[in-house]
Structure 1
């Protein structure tokens, strides 16, 4: 490192220390966000160093992050993307590849998913000409069950795509076994659940593919960013091709001839020896991340275990502090799981003497941020009403979630003092109602 660069980075450290000093928590004045990035001096320095090196495209940091994250998540391959939404799009699109031959998904095939979730779990199904089959979820865990998934199985069902709700794993081992027994693909949307385990095994390791988001609200952040992970090298190759314009070549940026036969391929109806760097085997995208993002991701990754510990602590304190409170249905971890929680979800009893809106307005007035459980029942949104889909069973709980449910934060920047304030605020509101 040059003396000049070292001097700049030293100034960055000083800048961080001078501008990010700990501010005391002032109840009712300090914002308690439901989610957000937890950034320290190392994160600040990593971003500036990458900028000084003008690493503005995917490069060495991106490759290093992919390797380290795949190892951390017990997968053979990880491919960075520009968002978690893009990761879901790539995961579904990969299953339509001609390289999967007869196993590939085709337009009109069905994919089982839940109605109560986030749009980008469902959108890739529709964007690839597939049919979402919506099932309901359980209140308490806010996940669906093997029984509901099994009831949704039809003659054109080819895949299952489910998110672990707010970090709480669904019955993923059982559903993975069901998928295998019926020759279905399983995609785990693990965007809210990095670090969660089910029966002692990390979520994101049960499916054929899993996805992660690095948006600031999530367990790790790159600002924007996402990832597709798999243990299947054939699927990894397809994901990489579709992420990188659909090209057939697997050379890294700046490489020219990793396969040692760059001008010896003949594919499609192209002339023999056409440059492999410009042969395209998929109708793909450009969904790559940058080294600026990956540099931040590397420093964040080193803190993942600590982040998960604080999330679990905050959730536990909220659960204990609100236990026994009337009119509020409290969340429950799925049996056999250890969630790395994304948020603390609350459902207002429909018979309560107050509404969700009244409780949310009260909390927001006290600077306690809230969020809905994403879209609630997606089938009720204008974007999906006229889209092809199938519903299995009544979406009773999804409707309750739409009308009665919200969540508050547990992310690592929330202190125990803030949690105590959240508990006392909620208890005080209920007592006065």
Structure 2
């Protein structure tokens, strides 16, 4: 027999209904006005359900990971990645840090990554894909990227291999999968770890399978710019129980115990084990087997993520639709621009629309970007460009294999614009019109000169 509703339950229901009404009043849809309404590269896309989930979680006042976090981890791992385990963390950058940290654990024996070992990566990308290797004393080995996929140039993989190579850690650039067939085979043939940074690529597939299937770890971000948002947040995904335990340990202070918050003695041996030089029976909840961090997120963030999961398929479809509309609308400007291309055998879940301004064009990247920004169209550069030309990386120990000519080209000539679900056809058509104006003005100036 159902229990009668308590006054607290009734008040909660009333609060959540008022929250839905508040959303309708506070966040109404606003029509697009060309030349007046800004066109962002990204942004949070949310509805009343996201807001009510957030408020519902806050009423629990369970401020660390809880019911929503557990629900999200199970669903995200299975429904989105087809994997067994997802470990929530407080950002995509933390996800990369946790994944790499797990590969340094002494519990991995001779396969662990140690200071002086090498990690193959690319020079064009986001810093926190590379930073964990540097922070742990490993040596990044930089390869160039292909244009216009903006992913790793796999032709130099074999040249990059050395007796010190232990891992490959690279991202799927702007939602476009890298050549997973070649990279994963290279890792398998040489017994290397593979970390797939999928922070920009949730929903992308390669050979019919979701990115993240090939790596020992995959990572994602839930920053507002990404495919779904928790405000901040990220996740580490793996299919192996042993790797899950290691990732959780580095996330949770380095503890050896795997009890959930608020739970005790899950293993049944809390006071009956020997760890190193600790007294026999030392409380397992206070045994630390790794030098870890505290990188958890709150249940309120996870509650938003649970609501966002239901919208993810629609978000991905909208990104693909906006990308296709831009591709069609700009296809006649190939004398000025190089448009992006999907990696063969892939179906990207586009994070942005990268555009390269040809070196021989009558206008440069900076002039194009300034014009777009003046017309209210936001732009971004392709992250670090050539990472080795950034001030922070001037003196790091590293190797370069081949040239970084394309990385320099990306740094000097490439920018990207948005395709996120908050953009309507009217937004995208306005962007296409303004880029045609830029092209017309540039070629007119060249003819006049």
TM-superposed deviation, 1:21? 1.1
TM-superposed deviation, 1:317? 0.4
TM-superposed deviation, 1:355? 1.3
| In 2: Cα distance, 1:213 partner to 1:219 partner | 8
Q: 1:134-213 counterparts in 2 under 5 A?
A: 134-213=142-221
* Aligned twin of 2:40: 33
TM-superposed deviation, 1:8? 1.3
CA contact (8 A) 2:143 2:153 kept: no
TM-superposed deviation, 1:265? 1.2
TM-superposed deviation, 1:290? 1.0
- Runs ≥4 in structure 1, deviation > 3 angstroms? none
* Aligned twin of 1:363: 372
| In 1: Cα distance, 2:67 partner to 2:282 partner | 28
| In 2: Cα distance, 1:56 partner to 1:148 partner | 48
Aligned-residue Cα RMSD (Å) equals 0.9
**1:344 pairs with 2:366:** no
Q: Which moved more, 1:230-239 or 1:79-88?
A: 230-239
* Aligned twin of 2:445: none
* Aligned twin of 2:436: 427
SS at match of 1:78: strand
Structure 1 length-normalised TM: 0.99
* Aligned twin of 2:31: 24
Gap regions ≥5 residues in structure 1: none
**1:299 pairs with 2:313:** no
* Aligned twin of 2:383: 374
TM-superposed deviation, 1:208? 0.6
* Aligned twin of 1:121: 129
Structure 2 length-normalised TM: 0.95
| In 1: Cα distance, 2:242 partner to 2:181 partner | 22
| Residues 274-301 of structure 1: per-residue CA shift (max 9 Å, x gap) | 1110111111111111101100000011
TM-superposed deviation, 1:151? 2.0
TM-superposed deviation, 1:149? 2.0
* Aligned twin of 2:10: 3
Gap regions ≥5 residues in structure 2: 1-7, 443-449
Q: Which among 376, 387, 405 is matched to residue 396 of structure 1?
A: 405
TM-superposed deviation, 1:214? 0.5
Q: 1:198-347 counterparts in 2 under 5 A?
A: 198-325=206-333, 326-347=335-356
* Aligned twin of 2:424: 415
* Aligned twin of 1:43: 50
| Residues 76-131 of structure 1: per-residue CA shift (max 9 Å, x gap) | 11100000000000111110101101111110000000001000001001011100
TM-superposed deviation, 1:185? 0.4
SS at match of 2:393: coil
Q: Which among 42, 67, 70 is matched to residue 77 of structure 2?
A: 70
TM-superposed deviation, 1:203? 0.3
| Residues 295-335 of structure 1: per-residue CA shift (max 9 Å, x gap) | 00000111111110000000000001100212101000011
How many residues were matched structurally?
433
SS at match of 2:86: strand
